[in-house]
Amino acid sequence: MTDAADAISGAATAADAPPMISMRAVDKHFGKLHVLRDINLEVPRGQVVIVLGPSGSGKSTLCRTINRLETVDSGTIAIDGTDLPAEGRALARLRTEVGMVFQQFNLFAHKSILENVMLAPVKVRGIDKKKARTEALALLDRVGIANQADKYPAQLSGGQQQRVAIARALAMNPKVMLFDEPTSALDPEMVNEVLEVMVGLAKEGMTMLVVTHEMGFARRAGERVLFMADGQIVEDSDPETFFTAPNSDRAKDFLGKILSH
Ligand SMILES: Nc1ncnc2c1ncn2[C@@H]1O[C@H](COP(=O)(O)OP(=O)(O)OP(=O)(O)O)[C@@H](O)[C@H]1O
Ligand SMILES: [Mg+2]
């Protein structure tokens, strides 16, 4: 390579930020069950990725490996250019960069809404309580429930509790947010208030991976659709292409089932 070409490629490398999520040749078994098969995925900063696929195809496992709730058998996973370490303090630190919101909100029942959001920043990050409180109130305001701060989870609706769970994840200032069917346990009239918060996050440039059956949201906020089947990413395309002209029979079959509901 000439010096000039070298300089150009160097400049290109500096300008190209590493992908926010990078999975290379990831495999995962549960006993004999091969749940993730040679997963290769790069998600650039700020991209909103929708993950679809039939039950048991590995969507939750994919999310759980990205923040190391599950280990992988082989392959590597990197967040913002740093490989996820196997264990220890470095892993704990890197995990705080990946927020996760589940179908079940898992709030602490005996702590107030405000305390739920303040807890991890104080305990894990060592932020002082006054600052954590101010930030938690700002986050509760952002998800539209600042007026509920002193209540307990059981006093809130499901939609409100899920918004608390989102605020709690955001309190760690994550680089990536993973959502695993965040609206599946909600009564229908509460789905939109949670999706609105997620649309807001997407617009602000958060990198998001969202497992959801909410097709309206997928089309509106999604920039990319991954379709999984049997532990593999079978399709990887833009939403419009996926919903109007899916390639595989599996995806056609899946869409036929969910869109006929
Ligand atoms: N902890 C576990 N131990 C053993 N098998 C598991 C475990 N977790 C998941 N599995 C199995 O791995 C496969 C993938 O599960 P996963 O939960 O990732 O699927 P999914 O696509 O999220 O499905 P769903 O749409 O039903 O949530 C399934 O066959 C499931 O039964
Ligand atoms: Mg799942």
Q: Which of 64, 41, 75, 72 is nearest to 235 (CA)?
A: 41
Mutate to test the pocket of ligand 1, among 33, 209, 228 (most ligand atoms within 8 A of CB): 33
Rounded alpha-carbon distances, angstroms, from residue 92 to 121, 136, 221, 239: 13, 21, 30, 34
Q: What phi and psi values does residue 229 have, to the nearest 5 degrees? A: -150, 135
Give the per-residue pLDDT at 92. 78
Rounded alpha-carbon distances, angstroms, from residue 88 to 116, 181, 199: 25, 29, 34
Beta bridge partners of 227: 52, 235
Give the per-residue pLDDT at 259. 74
Q: Reduced to 3 states, what is the DSSP secondary structure of residue 214? A: coil
Give the per-residue pLDDT at 4. 47
| Ligand 1 lined by 231 (C-beta under 6 Å) | no
Q: What is the mean pLDDT of the chain?
A: 91
Rounded alpha-carbon distances, angstroms, from residue 124 to 13, 83, 139, 178, 259: 34, 21, 18, 19, 43
Closest ligand 1 atom, residue 70 Cα: 1
| Ligand 1 lined by 160 (C-beta under 6 Å) | no
pLDDT tens for residues 121-169? 999 889 999 999 999 999 999 999 999 999 999 999 999 999 999 999 9
Give the per-residue pLDDT at 257. 87
- Tokens standing for residue 183: 């609206």
Expressed in angstroms and rounded, the spacing between residue 3 Cα and the centre of ligand 2 is 51
What predicted TM-score, i.e. pTM, was given to this entire model? 0.92
| Ligand 1 lined by 258 (C-beta under 6 Å) | no
Ligand nearest to the CA of residue 56, numbered in listed order: 1
Expressed in angstroms and rounded, the spacing between residue 57 Cα and the centre of ligand 2 is 8
Chain-centroid distance, C-alpha 154: 25
For the cut 80, the answer to whether the pLDDT of residue 241 exceeds it is yes
Spell 219-245 as b/e; 16+ CB within 10 A means b. eebbebbbbbbebbbbbebebeebbee
Give the per-residue pLDDT at 88. 75
Give the per-residue pLDDT at 2. 44
Determine which residue's CA is closest to atom 5 belonging to ligand 1: 30
Other CB atoms within a 10 A radius of the CB of residue 247 amount to: 13
Expressed in angstroms and rounded, the spacing between residue 74 Cα and the centre of ligand 1 is 18
Closest ligand 1 atom, residue 228 Cα: 21
pLDDT tens for residues 184-216? 999 999 999 999 999 999 999 999 999 999 999
| Ligand 1 lined by 61 (C-beta under 6 Å) | yes
Band of residue 104 on the pLDDT scale cut at 50, 70, 90: very high
Band of residue 15 on the pLDDT scale cut at 50, 70, 90: low
Determine which residue's CA is closest to atom 10 belonging to ligand 1: 30
Average pLDDT value for residue range 65-94: 87
Band of residue 96 on the pLDDT scale cut at 50, 70, 90: confident
Q: Which helix H or strand E contains 39, and what residues bound it?
A: strand 33-43
